[in-house]
């Protein structure tokens, strides 16, 4: 049974609900402003490439391909041996100052610095000779017969050298003795010199080692190399 006393309450509620609905419909939500766009930053522009100087034509030289030799000191001496053995058809003699035998490092920088320089007793010359023969048999280096017939080898080594120990030069001599006639191998291993190139009167004192890696040993290393590698009949000029 519905009591009549409740009807006015229900009648009053309807307008109120309508008013609330109208109020909600009139309410608007303010748009959230978009975040400002980040300021554009200019990307660094690559610096212009330097202008290259035009190539200069090299002059023609009158060189005898049969008189090309190679010389070096320290790592350059090892390089000279590598080149003489591997390309004996092109190189007709080599001189080394503080160098060692072919393939001494066997492709390892660690071996080069540990054994070839500081611990030459670890250098196994028979193994290096065997590797050389194998390379030649596979045509990876020039013929060993060609090496046998080429020019002289001069080995220079200081007795006080602590960078490339004197035993390394002795191993180099043993290595070349396997492939070259004895008369083609010259050795100067009695200089009381540190690690450096021996000169007559320029550089630091003979027994020391350091910059400029020239040692004043009262011995003309450059002259000895030229005299050893260049045939006498070529007319090598005497020292001025």
Q: Which residues are catalytic?
A: 74, 161, 195
Q: What is the C-alpha to C-alpha distance for residues 96 and 155, in angstroms, rounded to an integer?
A: 5
Distant-in-sequence, close-in-space partners of 89: CB < 8 Å, separation ≥ 6: 142, 143, 146
Tokens of 133: 């023969």
Q: What is the C-alpha to C-alpha distance for residues 212 and 232, in angstroms, rounded to an integer?
A: 31
The end-to-end CA distance of the chain, in Å, is 143
Neighbouring C-beta atoms of residue 162, cutoff 10 Å: 12
């Amino acid at each position: 049974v519905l009591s009549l006393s409740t009807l006015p309450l229900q009648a009053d509620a309807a307008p109120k609900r309508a008013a609330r609905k109208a109020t909600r419909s009139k309410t608007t939500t303010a748009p959230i402003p978009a975040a400002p766009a980040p300021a554009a930053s200019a990307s660094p522009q690559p610096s212009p490439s330097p202008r290259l100087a035009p190539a200069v034509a090299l002059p023609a030289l009158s060189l005898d391909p049969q008189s090309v030799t190679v010389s070096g000191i320290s790592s350059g001496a090892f390089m000279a041996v590598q080149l003489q053995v591997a390309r004996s058809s092109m190189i007709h003699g080599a001189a080394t100052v503080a160098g060692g035998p072919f393939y001494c490092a066997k492709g390892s920088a660690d071996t080069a610095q540990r054994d070839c320089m500081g611990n030459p007793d670890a250098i196994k010359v028979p193994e290096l000779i065997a590797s050389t023969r194998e390379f030649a048999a596979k045509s990876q280096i020039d013929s060993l017969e060609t090496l046998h017939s080429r020019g002289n080898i001069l080995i220079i080594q200081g007795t006080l050298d602590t960078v490339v120990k004197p035993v390394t030069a002795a191993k180099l001599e043993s290595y070349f003795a396997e492939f070259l006639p004895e008369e083609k191998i010259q050795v100067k291993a009695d200089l009381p010199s540190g690690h450096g190139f021996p000169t007559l009167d320029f550089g630091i004192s003979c027994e020391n080692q350091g910059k400029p890696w020239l040692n004043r040993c009262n011995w003309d290393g450059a002259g000895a190399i030229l005299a050893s590698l260049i045939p006498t009949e070529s007319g090598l000029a005497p020292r001025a």
